[in-house]
Amino acid sequence: MTRWKTALSAMRPELEALFQHLHTHPEISWQEYDTTRYLAERLTDWGFRVRRFETCTGLTADWGPDTGPTVALRTDIDALWQVVDGEWQANHSCGHDGHMTVVTGALRLLQQAFPTSPVRIRAIYQPAEETGEGARQMVELGALDDVVFLFGVHLRPKEELSSGQFSACIRNGGAIQIDGRITGTAAHGARPHLGVNAIEAAIAGWQAVQTLHFPPMIPHSVKITRLEGGGQSTNIIPDTAQFSFDLRAETNELLDQLVHQVESRVRQACAMMGAEVEFHRGSRVMAAQVDDTARRLLAEAIVDCFGEAALVPEVVTPGAEDFHYYTALRPDVKATMLGLGCNLTPGLHHPKMHFDRECLLDGAEILAEAAARAARMLGMERVSPDHSASGA
């Protein structure tokens, strides 16, 4: 039994209640009003210094000094909007309710272990992860000021990690969505030579994109995810079409190349047909930039809490996570994400996604241990097992 388990067992009922409330009150990106209020009230009651923001949802909770080197834990707080049992609704099918529970549990453990901490410990409750906008906003609002170490967490599907398996690093890829609008020339369906068919131009653009080739050693993909054109009158050569591309790459450098080449090929193909195209780039999510020291501390925490067999190699996934915007904007921050095995099925973003909730306690224990190790590296004295377990 590690030094965290006694305290974690005592707070199990409050963490279960926290998860149940968050799970049954999901809110979509930038609309996490009740989630923010509920978390702020609970964290204030527990004695944390809570900061809310006038311009957006989300909050931070601090323990320890008001200033100075900071060890931070980050969780996302938004839900997805999807069809569940035939109805559109907000739904925590990406596990953010679980992430909030893990980070809150770790924060509570650290509070009990270090009642007088010389190093500030912070939890960042970030909105709008699903839109890829929340991390940037948190940085602009100062949530990362003085942060030296930053640890995140994400539940992993069973095909990657089973319950009892943990990774000290998640190598998410970068991603961006590009929308385009093609303008041609309308004409009578009987006289196509007098018009420029915007749908045909869009198809030509997609065919041109398929001829692009990039280094096969670096995972990447380009998909067309939307194509619309024309109207109700189907005897008209359509003069407008709209499309969307989903671009992903394991490195930020390759993603930059993808964006440039895709737009260039589509523009050239449309010009050859006499059409014009306008592009709009959606929110970009950065590829992972993992710090070796943070990853080592998290790996040591996994082994300390659950043994060598529990630590598995890093998870490499094309899925995007805007956690990595923190290190893109603040490259000096030492960051990594915990991959938390929890027998998650059928998969992330599935409306019926479910997982072993017992594993949330495992995640809280690991993050608390990793943050404690990082804090000691920044000057915190080691606390005895008896002291930390009792919460004295």
pLDDT band at 19 (very low <50, low <70, confident <90, very high): very high
Q: Which domain holds residue 183?
A: 174-281
Q: How far is CA 34 from CA 78, 108, 166, in A?
A: 11, 21, 31
Residue 387 has pLDDT above 90, yes or no: no
Residue 273: how many CB atoms within 10 A of its CB? 17
**Alpha carbons 230 and 239: distance in angstroms, whole number:** 7
Cα 174 to chain centroid distance, Å, stands at 11
Same domain, 276 and 296: no
Longest dimension (CA), the chain: 86
Mean pLDDT across 99-104:
98
Residue 304 has pLDDT above 90, yes or no: yes
Which domain-ending residue is among 218, 249, 281? 281
pLDDT at 384: 40
Residue 386 has pLDDT above 90, yes or no: no
Same domain, 252 and 377: no
What sign does the dihedral 29-151-361-388 (CA atoms) show?
A: negative
Mean pLDDT across 369-388:
71
pLDDT per residue over 175-220, tens digit each? Answer: 999 999 999 999 999 999 999 999 999 999 999 999 999 999 999 9
Burial 13-47 (b: 16+ CB within 10 A, else e): eebeebbebbbeebbbbbbbeebbebbbebbeebe
pLDDT band at 391 (very low <50, low <70, confident <90, very high): very low
Q: State the average pLDDT for the chain.
A: 94
CATH number for the domain that contains residue 301 = 3.40.630.10
Tell me if residue 112 falls in helix, strand or coil: helix
Same domain, 272 and 323: no
pLDDT at 2: 66
- What's this model's pTM, rounded to 2 decimal places? 0.88
Contact between 331 and 266 under an 8 Å Cβ cutoff? The reply is no
pLDDT at 223: 96
**Alpha carbons 345 and 270: distance in angstroms, whole number:** 43
- Tokens describing residue 310: 């529990």
pLDDT per residue over 325-358, tens digit each? Answer: 999 999 999 999 999 999 999 999 999 999 999 9
Which domain-ending residue is among 281, 305, 332? 281
pLDDT band at 42 (very low <50, low <70, confident <90, very high): very high
**Alpha carbons 326 and 124: distance in angstroms, whole number:** 12
Residue 390 has pLDDT above 80, yes or no: no
**Alpha carbons 181 and 35: distance in angstroms, whole number:** 37
Same domain, 40 and 131: yes
Which domain-ending residue is among 281, 313, 334? 281
| Nearest residue to 224 (alpha-carbon basis) of 245, 196, 201 | 245
Mean pLDDT across 239-259:
97
Same domain, 237 and 154: no
Same domain, 216 and 318: no
Map tokens 């709008």 to a residue.
128
Percent of the chain with pLDDT over 70: 96
Same domain, 168 and 64: yes
**Alpha carbons 7 and 108: distance in angstroms, whole number:** 9
Helix (H) or strand (E) holding 198: helix 198-209
Mean pLDDT across 41-47:
98
DSSP-derived pairing of the beta strands 147-157 and 70-76: parallel
Same domain, 333 and 276: no
Q: Which of 318 and 372 is assigned the larger pLDDT? A: 372
pLDDT band at 366 (very low <50, low <70, confident <90, very high): very high
**Alpha carbons 23 and 18: distance in angstroms, whole number:** 9
Mean pLDDT across 62-68:
95
pLDDT per residue over 279-303, tens digit each? Answer: 999 989 999 999 999 999 999 999 9
